[in-house]
């Protein structure tokens, strides 16, 4: 990048080696390699002696595959061949793992997480009533915002467990990756909403008082809700809200706890992007949104960066190819098609390098204080621990 717009360097190794860093949240748009970057960060931290768990909210299988696991679920699974699992000192494959490190990985199951909350914070009879309720089953599986709130819950659970000294969160591949920042407020609005107060009214009043409410006009509202929701659905909603009412305060408290945890000094947000216009526009959105929320942004990881193969400009490479092409057309000359193709390929690559550099400079001009780390483009897809280590080695070259 040009000297006039060179951003400060983001030192990932320093970030993950700092024991005060307890949570790293990776966010970015789809297709930028965010899941791979999160996995590489988790692996490198484990081989620096940290006890790491990587939590992905992305349902894709990339994280499991890259770590050599057949599947992931709501329970942290040990990744073998990492840190202390390899040896007590440097590992047997020469990866230089520090002693004491370990790596676990898991994928958020929002319904199972919701079930765990109910089981942990309600007595057995009430928990069974809630879990069997049809409205709860629908809410816990597909209600808008449930995934983001459950991601907050799971992060809070992992942090409170204190089993790991670093949690790496791989968020969904879209702008909704930051929706969990709104989860406490969205939940509070839902729980304090007029509809919820209306539905809890009958259960809280009961008996003749309930009949007086109907005579006062509540019956008309209930009739409207019955037409909209159906009799059974309305009953299921009322039963669910009544059973869950005592847990509402706990939901708010835990959501607020996790929200404050995200703003604490031990948390670091990393925005992942590729050097493409759309990806860096999304990265700008993430940076600005995190600033508005006063979240601790550590920096930008620019992934899939092309590096020049040689110090030969695109113009000179194309000129040389044209000279060879002209010579090949002479009667006494022999065509060197391989050299011509190589020169043209190099010219095309150098043009891509220049284009990437200009796109990245637009971002750094808009956000000059955001530290940046670069990951070179890989020749093949990353699908194992060795591939993740190659990605991680780029962090140490910042």
**pLDDT tens digits for range 24-48:** 999 888 888 888 999 999 999 999 9
Asked if 255 and 344 sit in the same domain, the reply is no
In-domain check, residue 207: no
Asked if 324 and 350 sit in the same domain, the reply is yes
In-domain check, residue 340: yes
Residues 246, 250, 254: CA angle, nearest 5 degrees? 165
Are 102 and 85 contacting, i.e. CB atoms less than 8 angstroms apart?
yes
DSSP reduced 3-state for 351? helix
pLDDT under 50 in the chain at which residues? 1-3, 87-95, 203-229, 332-333
Asked if 169 and 270 sit in the same domain, the reply is yes
pLDDT confidence of residue 120: 81
In-domain check, residue 237: no
Rounded CA separation 158/349 (Å) = 44
Asked if 182 and 322 sit in the same domain, the reply is no
Asked if 164 and 86 sit in the same domain, the reply is yes
Burial class (CB in 10 A: 0-12, 13-18, 19+), 45: buried
In-domain check, residue 215: no
Token output for 155: 């992060």
Asked if 347 and 364 sit in the same domain, the reply is no
- Per residue in 169-190, pLDDT tens? 988 766 666 676 776 666 656 6
Rounded CA separation 356/280 (Å) = 11
Return the number of other C-beta atoms located less than 10 Å from residue 395's C-beta. Answer: 23
Question: Distance between alpha carbon 65 and the CA centroid of its chain, in Å?
Answer: 17
Rounded CA separation 5/18 (Å) = 28
In-domain check, residue 263: yes
Rounded CA separation 24/165 (Å) = 11
* Residue 352 domain boundaries: 314-356
- List, in order, residues 6 or more apart from 7 with CB less than 8 Å away: 1, 300, 364, 367, 368, 369, 370, 371, 372
**CATH assignment at residue 28:** 3.40.50.300
DSSP reduced 3-state for 212? helix
Asked if 301 and 379 sit in the same domain, the reply is yes
Are 251 and 192 contacting, i.e. CB atoms less than 8 angstroms apart?
no
pLDDT confidence of residue 168: 96
Strand order in the sheet with 372-376: 77-78, 102-107, 51-56, 166-170, 23-27, 267-273, 297-305, 372-376
In-domain check, residue 194: no
Are 114 and 72 contacting, i.e. CB atoms less than 8 angstroms apart?
no
pLDDT confidence of residue 152: 81
pLDDT confidence of residue 319: 73
Place of tokens 């400009």: 313
Asked if 81 and 33 sit in the same domain, the reply is yes
Q: Give the chain's domain count.
A: 2
Dihedral class, residue 68 (left if φ above 0, else alpha if ψ from -120 to 50, else beta): left
In-domain check, residue 235: no
Asked if 251 and 297 sit in the same domain, the reply is yes
Token output for 158: 């992992």
pLDDT confidence of residue 90: 40
pLDDT confidence of residue 52: 96
In-domain check, residue 298: yes
Q: What residues does 320 pair with on adjacent strands?
A: none
Residues 10, 16, 18: CA angle, nearest 5 degrees? 100
Of 208, 199, 210, nearest to 233 by C-alpha is 199
Place of tokens 């879990």: 131
pLDDT confidence of residue 200: 54
Asked if 278 and 133 sit in the same domain, the reply is yes
Alpha helices per DSSP H over the chain: 12-17, 34-46, 62-66, 110-121, 124-132, 134-142, 146-161, 183-191, 194-205, 207-213, 219-229, 231-244, 248-262, 277-292, 314-328, 337-366, 385-395
Rounded CA separation 29/271 (Å) = 9
Asked if 68 and 102 sit in the same domain, the reply is yes
Asked if 252 and 349 sit in the same domain, the reply is no
């Amino acid at each position: 990048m040009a000297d006039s717009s060179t951003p400060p360097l983001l030192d990932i190794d320093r970030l993950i080696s700092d024991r005060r860093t307890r949570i790293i949240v990776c966010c970015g748009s789809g297709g930028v390699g965010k899941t791979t970057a999160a996995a590489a960060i988790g692996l490198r931290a484990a081989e620096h002696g940290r006890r790491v768990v990587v939590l992905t909210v992305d349902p894709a299988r990339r994280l499991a595959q890259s770590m050599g696991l057949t599947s992931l679920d709501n329970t942290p699974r040990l990744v073998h061949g990492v840190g202390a699992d390899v040896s007590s000192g440097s590992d047997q494959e020469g990866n230089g793992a520090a002693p004491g490190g370990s790596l676990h990985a898991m994928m958020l199951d929002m319904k199972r997480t919701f079930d765990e909350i109910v089981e942990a914070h309600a007595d057995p009879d009430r928990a069974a009533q809630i879990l069997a309720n049809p409205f709860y089953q629908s809410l816990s599986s597909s209600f808008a915002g449930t995934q983001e709130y459950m991601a907050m819950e799971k992060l809070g659970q992992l942090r409170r467990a204190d089993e790991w000294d670093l949690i790496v969160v791989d968020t969904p591949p879209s702008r909704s990756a930051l929706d969990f920042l709104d989860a406490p407020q969205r939940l509070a609005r839902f729980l304090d909403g007029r509809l919820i107060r209306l539905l809890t009214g009958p259960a809280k009043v009961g008996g003749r008082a309930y009949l007086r409410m109907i005579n006062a006009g509540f019956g008309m509202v209930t009739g409207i809700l019955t037409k909209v929701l159906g009799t059974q659905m309305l009953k299921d909603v009322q039963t669910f809200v009544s059973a869950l009412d005592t847990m509402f305060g706990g939901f708010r408290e835990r959501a607020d706890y996790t929200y404050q945890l995200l703003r604490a000094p031990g948390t670091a947000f990393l925005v992942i992007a590729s050097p493409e216009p759309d990806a860096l526009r999304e990265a700008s959105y993430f940076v600005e949104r995190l600033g508005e929320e006063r979240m601790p942004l550590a920096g930008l990881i620019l992934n899939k960066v092309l590096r020049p193969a040689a110090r030969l400009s695109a113009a000179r490479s194309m000129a040389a190819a044209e000279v060879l092409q002209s010579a090949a057309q002479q009667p006494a000359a022999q065509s060197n098609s391989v050299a011509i193709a190589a020169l043209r390929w190099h010219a095309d690559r150098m043009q891509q390098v220049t284009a990437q550099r200009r796109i990245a400079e637009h971002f750094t001009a808009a956000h000059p204080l955001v530290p940046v780390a670069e990951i070179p483009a890989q020749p093949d897809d990353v699908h194992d621990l060795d591939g993740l280590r190659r990605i991680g080695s780029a962090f140490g070259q910042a």
